[in-house]
């Protein structure tokens, strides 16, 4: 019985190491969310950190603050969803199952 437990512990340690590697890898993976036909773009890494924001000059011409806020929020939600999907897919490669969004 001790042998079985020891084997399980080694497997758990390997899994934890692999999950840590995936989490670190997610820092370098990028996704882009956009709104307004690309007028506002937000780039996130696989851990939901915003790494870049882009607003086209055309979006600024004659735009009001409320419209830009809505575009920004939509692009942020789009990027967040893509980041969550990326993380879930990468973790599924290790665990063999899809994790709920935001679990990692």
For the CA atoms of the chain, what is the radius of gyration? 19
In our burial notation (b when 16+ CB lie closer than 10 A, e otherwise), range 30-53 reads bbbbbbbeebbbbbbbbbbeeeee
Q: What is the pLDDT of residues 6-59, one digit of tens each?
A: 888 888 888 888 888 888 999 999 999 999 999 999 999 999 999 999 999 988
Which token pair is 5? 């437990």
Instruction: Delineate the domains of the chain, giving CATH numbers in brackets.
Output: 29-97 (3.30.1310.10)
For residue 26, report the phi and psi dihedrals to the nearest 5 degrees. -65, -25
Torsion of CA 85, 96, 100, 36, to 10 degrees: 10
Q: What is the pLDDT of residues 56-104, one digit of tens each?
A: 998 888 878 899 999 999 999 999 999 999 998 888 888 776 665 555 5
């Amino acid at each position: 019985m001790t042998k079985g437990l020891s084997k399980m512990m080694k497997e758990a340690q390997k899994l934890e190491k692999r999950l840590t590697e995936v989490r670190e890898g997610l820092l370098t993976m990028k996704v882009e969310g956009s709104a307004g036909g690309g007028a506002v773009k937000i780039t996130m890494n696989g851990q939901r950190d915003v790494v870049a924001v882009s607003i086209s000059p055309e979006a600024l011409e004659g735009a009001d603050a409320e419209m830009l806020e809505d575009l920004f929020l939509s692009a942020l939600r789009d990027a967040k969803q893509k980041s969550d999907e990326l993380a879930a897919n990468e973790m599924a490669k290790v665990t063999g199952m899809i994790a709920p969004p935001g679990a990692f």
